[in-house]
Amino acid sequence: CTLDSEVALRVGGDFFFDPQPGDSPVNLVLIAGGVGINPLFSILLHIADLHGYQEGKGNRHKLGTAKLYYSAKTTSELLFKKNILGLMKAFPGKITCCFHVTQQRSQICKELQPHVTGK
């Protein structure tokens, strides 16, 4: 987004991401905290499947980017972090993530360091 961009937010409830062939591409910003990552991780997996299918078979889905902002107290509480890093590696520039930790006292592992902000 840029300054003055219009965005839509949705908090709680039933939500999903199911783009149809021919839909205009959208860029997603997903925000999660703690165990709230569960439904958003499913959305990321679906996006990865569509990107993989698109690259392998040339389907008609037009996909934008997906950026995940995910916060927890410590890196040990970041669920699916290795899976998320794998998705970022498999689809560079298409799936990105910024982890935020609020109470980390120990050193953050090198693999996560480039993607972690916070204390």
Give a yes or no: residue 4 inside a domain: no
CATH of residue 75: 3.40.50.80
Count the domains in the chain: 1
Give a yes or no: residue 16 inside a domain: no
Q: pLDDT of 55-97, one tens digit each?
A: 656 566 778 899 999 999 999 999 999 999 999 999 999 999 9
Give a yes or no: residue 53 inside a domain: yes
Query: 81-90 and 37-57 helices cross at what angle (nearest 10)?
Result: 20
Position with higher pLDDT, 59 vs 23:
23
> Which residue range is the domain that position 106 belongs to?
28-117
Q: How far is it, in rounded angstroms, from Cα 74 to Cα 51?
A: 30
Q: How far is it, in rounded angstroms, from Cα 109 to Cα 10?
A: 33
Give a yes or no: residue 19 inside a domain: no
Counting every residue written for the chain, the total comes to 119
Residue 40 pLDDT class (50, 70, 90 cuts): very high
